[in-house]
């Protein structure tokens, strides 16, 4: 069976917890140990003993060798030897063998080190973590796990140490903006001058159509992080990627003679605003001669100009993530910015939300550079996506709908109010070549305005009700049902009682018709998607499949008046990320027939009454085939709860001073029988007898429940064993995937209707009482207070 993503995550993070208590390590240090062991485990599972594999795994230096070293005094030193052998066999010296597994400061001394490293191996030794069946393509679950750890490590590393990781969502936006999916012939060369752990390079490579050769090149200043990038490349099947170590600005590693080497595509998320960047600069390689030399106290434009120099002179395309300051700061940066605008090399700018990155909380932007047609370019396409995010912990995160909306609108140059605009050079020149997005795109929210006339004389302003226009498009008659004209022009009165607004909306024929239309839209998506889903097999590429399904849903919802097509897209992608992706990988690796997993007792024996299936939960089997049997058990459970409740009530009524029971008594069958032997009063005898009969009844019902549950469990297990492929497909696609997505849309529809009702009631209550009525009410309460004070003698 394939490794389930969530299971892999929990195991890997458990291994981190094993190490974090040893020595004096922080997240940036123990990540190196964990990820190197992960790397060795993967290459052992996937490549050990295979000819012509991506990486050579020595006979005496692999994960199996590590297992044999558990508990040995020399385990740290021996691990270093294993790394050294793998590095030398694959020309990776100084890359993956830079971490010292014999470091007493990090791992502890003596037994502490032995226990830490042995525990780390044992976690990866779990039979569930078997990577032999995982494929090394863009769908590979290992890549997701690797990025998960990068994210966790970056979060723990803190503000000053999170720069080795670019959030996967941002990497995907950058990669899509390069238009790599339009490439028709190769090879193509992609370069990242500050590659970190390599996520931007990998996301970019994943955008290139299959069958076209891609070569990846990256430079990273930090030695350990460069090692992570190399391992990440191997884990994603990019073993031929070239990762070099060094400071890109002062010591660029990719040269053609004395000139900067050029590439088809360039990506980068350099560290923001580095000071004294040119201290060790001995040669500028003509990077700054054309546009101006960046200021000594900020390297942002130094990185951008290095990227420009690294782009193919005729068709080079690049995308760089920089802080917003590059758009408006003055001095020498203003000179460079003006020169860049006039050159036509800036194709577009996308403003990102703040607090996305782990190294900083400041907002950033993506600047897209394109040399093709630069001499004829007369505008810059700008997007302000500052509000496109969801809170996740103490950080912000781009949602799937945000990624899709940003890339769709940018790549199609769609102008949208308060979101995107095409800005002509003439307008930019009038602004003094200041590119700060708020100068061109007003993305501010409209302030809530108060109608003074309505507060004075009553009525609801029509302008306030017009704000619900998207609902009135769906239900124009509902508006007339809810409101009637006021005597004053431009104002309305409520036609129904305020507490009837919600019911009126929900019972509206037009809203009911919209609900039916929404169901038809979802069914239409299901019918189109079912054809593709039923074809899923071992050759399916999950990434391509979900793109097809998501395109269907965007197309179907493009004209829906209430549910935005990108919201619909998000519902699908959210479920895909949470569960559907795992299910698809299980099917690809193990087929459509679901496997049962059983619980175990403390001795490791299987429990026949504790079982379920990840791919097809038993609740679906119960609902489809055994609803009557399950309902019988539910009825018995309700009966049992009622009996127990009656028992508790009798106990409560007879507990306290001068009653049968004290507060400290724990009443059970034995105590009741003992009390019956010594009881003197008939009334007490009847109470105890009633309790004893209740206990007997509980036992009988529990016995019946157990018997029926065992019978049902046997039927369920038998049904699983007899499932054929077609039946499994039907249950998984219709009863699991489609039903969950239908419920998401039903919930959203209900939320929309509820919000409409609440917002309308809010408008009504805002103008519920005129000023004179409020004054009169105030005077009335004032008079009551004065009379009370007078009675009290004041």
- Per-residue pLDDT tens for 145-204? 666 777 777 777 655 455 556 888 999 999 999 999 999 998 999 999 999 889 899 999
pLDDT in tens, 323-349: 999 999 999 999 999 999 999 999 999
Average pLDDT, integer, range 436-458: 87
- pLDDT tens for 350-405 read 999 999 987 678 899 999 999 999 999 999 999 999 999 999 888 899 999 999 99
Measured CA to CA, the distance from residue 704 to residue 608 in angstroms comes to 18
The three-state secondary structure class of 437 is helix
For 80-133, the pLDDT digits (tens) are: 999 999 999 988 888 788 889 999 888 888 998 998 899 889 888 877 677 776
Query: Which of 16-25, 124-133, 289-298 is modeled with the greatest confidence?
Result: 289-298
Q: Encoding tokens for residue 732?
A: 């998984």
Nearest in space to 264 (alpha carbons), one of 220, 327, 311, 325: 311
Q: How far apart are CA 233 and CA 56, in angstroms?
A: 15
Q: Is 56 left (phi over 0), alpha (psi -120 to 50) or beta?
A: beta
Short-list 248, 217, 212, CA closest to 230: 217
**What was the pLDDT predicted at 23?**
57
Q: Is beta strand 420-424 parallel, antiparallel or unpaired with respect to 379-384?
A: antiparallel
pTM of the model: 0.86
At residue 793, the pLDDT reads: 85
Report d(CA 244, CA 241) in Å as an integer: 10
DSSP string, 579-634: IIHHHHHHHHHH-SSPPPEEEE-TTSPEEEEEEE-SSS-HHHHHHHH-HHHHHHHH
- For residue 236, give the nearest of 199, 194, 275 by alpha carbon: 199
Q: What are phi and psi of 41, to 5 degrees?
A: -60, -45
- What is the pLDDT at residue 139? 47
The per-residue pLDDT for range 516-555, each reduced to its tens digit, is 999 999 999 999 999 999 999 989 988 889 999 999 999 9
Closest C-alpha to 291, from 329, 328, 342: 342
């Amino acid at each position: 069976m394939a490794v389930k993503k969530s299971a892999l995550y929990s195991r890997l993070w458990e291994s981190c917890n094993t190490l974090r208590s040893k020595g004096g390590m922080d997240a940036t240090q123990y990540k190196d140990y964990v990820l190197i062991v992960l790397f060795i485990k993967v290459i052992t599972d996937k490549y050990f003993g295979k000819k012509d594999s991506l990486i050579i795994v020595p006979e005496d230096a692999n994960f199996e060798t590590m297992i044999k070293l558990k508990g040995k005094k020399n385990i740290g030193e021996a691990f270093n030897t294993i790394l050294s052998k793998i590095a030398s066999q694959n020309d990776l010296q100084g890359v993956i063998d830079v971490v010292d597994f014999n470091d007493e400061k990090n791992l502890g001394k003596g037994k502490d080190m032995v226990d830490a490293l042995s525990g780390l191996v044992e976690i990866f030794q779990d039979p569930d973590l078997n990577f032999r069946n995982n494929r090394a393509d863009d769908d590979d679950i290992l890549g997701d796990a690797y990025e998960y750890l990068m994210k966790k490590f970056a979060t723990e590393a803190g503000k000053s140490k999170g720069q080795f990781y670019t959030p996967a969502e941002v990497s995907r936006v950058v990669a899509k903006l390069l238009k790599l999916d339009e490439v028709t012939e190769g090879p193509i060369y992609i370069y990242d001058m500050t590659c970190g752990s390599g996520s931007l390079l990998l996301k970019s490579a994943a955008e290139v159509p299959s069958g076209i050769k891609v070569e990846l090149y990256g430079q990273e200043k930090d030695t350990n992080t460069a090692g992570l990038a190399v391992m990440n490349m191997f884990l994603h099947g990019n073993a031929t990627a070239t990762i070099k170590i060094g400071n890109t600005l002062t010591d660029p590693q990719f040269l053609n003679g004395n000139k900067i080497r050029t590439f088809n595509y360039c990506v980068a998320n350099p560290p923001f605003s580095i000071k004294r960047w040119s201290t060790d600069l001995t040669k500028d390689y003509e990077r700054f001669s054309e546009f101006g030399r960046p200021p000594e106290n900020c390297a942002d434009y130094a990185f951008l100009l290095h990227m420009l120099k690294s782009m193919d002179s005729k068709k080079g395309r690049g995308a760089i993530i920089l802080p917003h300051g590059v758009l408006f700061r003055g001095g020498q940066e203003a000179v460079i910015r003006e020169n860049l605008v006039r050159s036509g090399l800036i194709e577009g700018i996308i403003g990102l939300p703040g607090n996305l990155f782990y190294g900083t909380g400041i907002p950033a932007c993506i600047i897209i550079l394109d040399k093709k047609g630069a001499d004829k370019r007369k505008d810059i396409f700008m997007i302000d996506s500052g509000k496109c995010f969801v809170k996740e912990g103490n950080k912000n995160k781009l949602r799937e709908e945000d990624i899709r909306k940003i890339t769709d609108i940018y790549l199609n140059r769609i102008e949208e109010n308060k979101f995107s605009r095409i800005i002509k050079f003439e307008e930019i020149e009038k602004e003094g070549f200041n590119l700060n997005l708020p100068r061109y795109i007003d993305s501010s929210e409209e302030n809530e305005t108060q109608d003074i006339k309505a507060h004075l004389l009553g009525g609801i302003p029509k302008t306030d009700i017009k704000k619900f226009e998207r609902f009135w498009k769906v239900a124009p008659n509902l508006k007339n049902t809810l409101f009637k004209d006021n005597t004053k022009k431009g104002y309305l009165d409520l036609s129904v009682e305020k507490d009837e607004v919600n019911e009126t909306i929900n019972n509206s024929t037009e809203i009911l018709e919209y609900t039916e239309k929404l169901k038809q839209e979802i069914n239409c998506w299901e019918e189109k998607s079912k054809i593709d889903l039923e074809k899923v097999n071992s050759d399916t590429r999950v990434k391509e499949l979900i793109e097809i399904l998501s395109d269907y849903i965007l197309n179907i919802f493009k004209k829906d008046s209430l549910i935005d097509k990108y919201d619909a897209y998000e519902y699908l992608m959210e479920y895909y990320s949470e569960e559907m992706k795992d299910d698809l990988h299980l099917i690809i690796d193990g087929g459509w027939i679901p496997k049962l997993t059983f619980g175990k007792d403390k001795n490791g024996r299987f429990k026949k009454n504790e079982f379920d299936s990840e791919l097809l939960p038993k609740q679906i089997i119960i609902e489809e085939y055994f609803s009557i049997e399950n309902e019988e058990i539910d009825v018995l459970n309700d009966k049992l709860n009622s009996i127990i409740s009656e028992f508790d009530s009798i106990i409560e009524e007879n507990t306290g001073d001068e009653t049968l029971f004290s507060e400290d008594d724990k009443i059970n069958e034995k105590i009741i029988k003992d009390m019956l032997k010594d009881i003197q009063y008939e009334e007490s005898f009847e109470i105890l007898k009633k309790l004893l009969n209740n206990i007997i009844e509980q036992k009988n019902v529990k016995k019946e429940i157990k018997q029926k549950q065992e019978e049902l469990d046997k039927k369920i297990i038998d049904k699983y064993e007899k499932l054929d492929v077609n039946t499994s497909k039907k249950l998984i696609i219709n009863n699991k995937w489609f039903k969950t997505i239908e419920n998401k849309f039903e919930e959203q529809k209900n939320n929309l209707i509820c919000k409409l009702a609440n917002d309308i009631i809010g408008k009504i209550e805002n103008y519920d009482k005129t000023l004179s009525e409020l004054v009169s009410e105030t005077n009335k309460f004032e008079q009551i207070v004065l009379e009370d004070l007078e009675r009290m003698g004041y």
